[in-house]
Amino acid sequence: MALPDPLHRPLVARSKRTVWAVMAFAILWGAAAYDRNFNPEWAEWAWNPGGNLGANVRTYRYAAKLAREGQSFYGVAPPELGEWAVYLYPPITVTAYYPFTGIDWQIGYWIVVALNVLAGLAVAAAIVRFVDRTAYRLGWLDVGLITGLVLVSPFTFGTIYYGNINLLVALAFVVGFLALERDRPGVAGAAFGLAALFKLFPALVGAWLLKRRSWRAVASATAVGIGGILAGVVAYGTGPTVTFFSEVVFDRAETAAFVGGYPADATFYVTLQRPLSHVVWGLFPNAPPEVLTPLAALVGAGILLALYADVETLQGRLIAVFATLVVTVTLVPALQWYLVLFFFPMIPLWYVWEGPGRRLFLAGSAVMFANEYPGSLVEAVREFGLPHLLEVLLVDVFTFATVPLYGIAIMLLACAAATYGVQPRRALGRVGGRVGATLRNIGG
């Protein structure tokens, strides 16, 4: 009997050593995060994952319990967690967690982990199928590495450890982008609308729908979003919805926290606002906090304008989608765990990319996966005993932006090189030559 078509694969289809190296690096870095935080004690068949295990599930469960009792579920954290563990999503979404109120939180945690794993497997399968269809049939080595990357990356770790739903959101994004590519705008809009209903910031992906002029997708996404908000009013009254928009959404911007330059030891946000804060208040110490978000939006709009130039080719559309996701995640103060949303189209781009910028994009991907807390990097630099000038330079570099954000910036440069046909190596050579000539003139 013939095997199903998806199983007709060689072990290795084509040599992609640089792609394999990036994926192996990401898997190893992620595995180290799992090992470091779950603290498995293999010899004793025990583990000690720490007090924040399942913090998101516990927060969702506590909010659902309060909602069922008719109490306010915003701004209130579970007693065993810190004040940061509060519910942040539109009122109607809390009903999804009602079933968790009737079971122990640990059981609920493992249910969410299982759902995320299934969503991750679905994302990996969709990516493999997409590359099979648009480039060439992948070998089992690629399939295994892609699956491992989606499930074990350093960004996936946060979803699994805290019991978040980021891989489910990533799956909704994949469904949306693929449905749009297959001319199914209603499905695409519904998928994006559902993701935005649970996380809000995914609504920024509407920029891509507008670029594609997919009005049915816009209408579908809007209907799901507004329908969800109205359902929250019907279920809980106007109070929680007013609180959500007037307090929760406003507080999530946290603009005031960036005034004077965002410190390295603060929350690990992967956001454009981090480096911009150092630029703005470095140049204008008396600038009001309100300038930061519009400035970040202006930078984001510039990224989209530059990388929406080619949407006729498959590669051009994947680059445009990647740019859309970069702006979606980095425009607002978002945690690094949301970078799981990049899996599609980032991984397909590793395989279908033709022309300049491919190696630079892969290099940026590797840098992005080197997910390390800025405060820890600054502390390590100061303890390493480096020459003073080098120490100051590195401290400034790691304070200015996170390592994943530097990786994202490199990938955006690669996307620009591909979009405009610029050879990065030649461009760097010309820049280096001019810098060298300038230094020689100064010396002369």
Residue 40, φ and ψ in degrees, nearest 5: -70, 135
| Cα 207 off chain centre by | 17
Mean pLDDT of 122-134: 97
Q: Which two tokens stand for residue 157?
A: 């770790």
Residues 217-259 have pLDDT tens digits of 999 999 999 999 999 999 999 999 999 988 888 776 667 889 9
Residue 16, φ and ψ in degrees, nearest 5: -130, 60
Q: Which two tokens stand for residue 55?
A: 């913090």
Contact call for residues 167 and 156 (beta carbons, < 8 A): yes
3-state secondary structure (DSSP) of residue 387: coil
C-alpha span between 435 and 301 (Å, rounded): 30
Indicate whether 352 pLDDT > 70. Answer: yes
Residue type, 66: L
The reported pTM is 0.91
Alpha helix locations (H) across 15-94? 17-38, 55-68
Note the maximum CA span of the chain.
79
Indicate whether 52 pLDDT > 60. Answer: yes
C-alpha span between 72 and 67 (Å, rounded): 7
Residues 173-227 have pLDDT tens digits of 999 999 999 999 999 999 999 999 998 888 899 999 999 999 999 999 999 999 9
Helix (H) or strand (E) holding 98: none
Mean pLDDT of 41-57: 70
Alpha helix locations (H) across 99-253? 105-134, 140-152, 154-162, 166-181, 185-199, 206-211, 215-236, 238-243, 249-253
**Mean pLDDT lowest for which of 1-10, 185-194, 276-285, 333-342?**
1-10
Indicate whether 439 pLDDT > 80. Answer: no
What one-character DSSP code corresponds to residue 2?
Answer: P
Non-local CB neighbours of 21 within 8 Å, separated by 6+ positions: 366
C-alpha span between 235 and 61 (Å, rounded): 18
C-alpha span between 239 and 55 (Å, rounded): 26
Mean pLDDT of all residues belonging to the chain: 90
Indicate whether 152 pLDDT > 70. Answer: yes
Contact call for residues 330 and 145 (beta carbons, < 8 A): no
C-alpha span between 272 and 287 (Å, rounded): 17
Taking 3-state DSSP, the helix, strand and coil percentages for the chain, each rounded to the nearest 5, stand at: 75, 0, 25
Mean pLDDT of 251-275: 89
Contact call for residues 195 and 172 (beta carbons, < 8 A): yes
Beta bridge partners of 269: 335
Residue 302, φ and ψ in degrees, nearest 5: -65, -40
